[in-house]
Amino acid sequence: MRHAFPLLLALLGLSLTAGVHADGKDTPSIASIVKAAKPSEWRSLDPANTLYMDLPDGRVVIELAPWWSPAHVANLKTLVREHYFDRTSVYRVQDNFVAQWGDPDSDNPKKAKSMGTAKTHLPPEYDRAYDASMTFTPLPDGDVYASQVGFSHGFPTARDPKTHRTWIAHCYGTVGVARDVDPTSGNGNTLYAVIGEARRIDHNLAVAGRVIQGMPLLSSLPRGDDANIGVYAKPSQRTPILRVRLAADVPVAQREHLQVLRTDSPTFARIVDAKRHRHDAFYRDPPGHLSLCGLEVPTRVDPAFAH
């Protein structure tokens, strides 16, 4: 599979070797590459699989991944539609790891918020089987945690051809389902977003989605007590969650009309190439490599709704 990406670029008329164009010009900026993308290279978020988490300082937009963890996403939608997360909080922020939210008393039967009709236990959905027909855009460089990495449905993805398993990687912005030691204890009532280095927990927890917009609202929060894995010592330190809603349940006028660049598009291939061979007034020595978590998929407001 290491040859798949060079073949893709060759078909698109791009180069993996040229850090500076043959005419002597510097590598195009990512902004200019994205600006030149065709309308067909963008996809709109599905309102039925998009969450809005409203915090006092703004909104966090999360794209769900029902094709990866269908049971967890379905249970999460039940919790959201029954307003479980309203008036809960972000109660754990561990530096260089995760920001976590939900009911801080969920482990205390006497204080825990009711989960309504949602299930309390679910089977593990840490990874899934793959086949040749699965959408997968490979990256050309190596990875410490998997023999193959790339993007599937816009999500950073790793896979192992020996076991035929694939999983969403815990890169910046990945939203996972917290659990206890019991593999069935993760039910979606407690979620976390990666704000640092978390690849070590790949395929050990279910991934429900990824943050599309609003990551600074989570990553910039004060860090909790290191001695207590980032859990805030005082309730007053927590960030309240005003509400969480499915975009489909929000009036159209109040939605975030966002689009994501397709990771199987020529423009995305150009972005990968430009990042690997960046050469300009500052970067005189191109890195020549690109890690899976070192690449963010571009997003934009749908031009039809831009003001």
Residue 27, pLDDT score? 87
- Position 7 in a domain: no
Least confident of 37-46, 51-60, 80-89, 282-291: 282-291
- Let me know if 236 is exposed, middle or buried by CB neighbors in 10 A (0-12, 13-18, 19+): exposed
List all residues 6 or more positions away from 197 whose beta carbon is below 8 Å from its beta carbon: 96, 97
- Position 282 in a domain: no
Q: Provide the CATH number for the domain around residue 246.
A: 2.40.100.10
- Position 25 in a domain: no
Residue 19 has pLDDT above 80, yes or no: no
- Position 39 in a domain: no
- Position 125 in a domain: yes
* Cβ–Cβ < 8 Å for 60, 192: no
Q: Could you tell me which residue, 282 or 132, shows the higher pLDDT?
A: 282
Residue 307, pLDDT score? 72
Residue 13 has pLDDT above 70, yes or no: no
DSSP-derived letter for residue 69 is -
For 8-20, what is the mean pLDDT? 41
Domain count, the chain: 1
- Position 76 in a domain: yes
- Position 60 in a domain: yes
Residue 243 has pLDDT above 90, yes or no: yes
Residue 2, pLDDT score? 40
Rounded distance between C-alpha atoms, residue 139 and residue 21, angstroms: 21
Residue 25, pLDDT score? 67
Residue 134, pLDDT score? 79
The per-residue pLDDT for range 118-161, each reduced to its tens digit, is 999 999 999 999 877 778 999 999 899 999 999 999 999 999 99
Rounded distance between C-alpha atoms, residue 50 and residue 212, angstroms: 9
| Domain encompassing residue 86 | 46-256
- Position 32 in a domain: no
290: part of which helix (H) or strand (E)? none
Q: Which residues pair with 54 in a beta bridge?
A: 59, 243
For 230-241, what is the mean pLDDT? 97
CA dist 265 to 43, 65, 211, 270, 274, Å? 11, 20, 21, 9, 14
Residue 253 has pLDDT above 90, yes or no: yes
pTM metric for this prediction? 0.91
